[in-house]
Amino acid sequence: MSEPNEPILRPDSAGSSAGEPKKEDTAGWAGDLFTWLQALTFALVIIMIVFTFFARIIGVDGHSMEPTLQDRDMLLLQCAGYEPRQGDVVVLHKSFSTTGEPIVKRVIAVGGQSVHIDYDTSTVYVDGEPVDDSYLGEPMVQPGSSTMQGTDWDIPEGSVFVMGDNRNNSSDSREESLGPVENQYVLGRALVVLFPFSHFGSIH
């Protein structure tokens, strides 16, 4: 009479219960987690570098750029390697009588150009040529402030003359305490409205 077959114990089942995870499974899970954390850390470092040296996100505070930009819009800025150009929407940070916070304005003229404002015809001239102001929401009128009565400026090299698109409600380079702004105070060019999503899109 033959003896009953003895159960064969496999190496991976010895000394472990049915519900206990295998050592190699635990090691694999830990390795996957470490790899994922490495990738996440690398991505965060890249994002920090990009937003420190190449781009920024900044919010609009106020109504001086309506209708192009609205109060509390969140903007993506191009920073590194940017040289201000006529027509660009920029963020600059230079304290003057109205505010010490960053402001969003449009570059009307750059260094070496001249600006003349004719309030009778609601026209801004740069080097004798009228500026395309199709983005304006209403005709420009003479400011009531005694510190915004200038009509002619010669822009020094390395500076910009800026105005808000809502020219009847904007403190800008027309303000005596600001005037033309040195390029070093320009934080960057506003490229895109990121938020709210209803305003999402490129800035012109």
Catalytic residues: 64, 105
Nearest-CA neighbor of 56 among 201, 204, 187?
187
Token pair, residue 107, equals: 């570059």
Nearest-CA neighbor of 166 among 203, 140, 146?
140
* CA-CA-CA-CA dihedral for 119, 131, 70, 56, to nearest 10: -130
Alpha carbons 57 and 202: distance in angstroms, whole number:
14
Instruction: Please spell the DSSP secondary structure of 41-84, one letter per residue.
Output: HHHHHHHHHIIIIIEEEEE--SSTTTTTS-TT-EEEEE-TT---
**Cα dihedral sign, 77-82-85-91:** positive
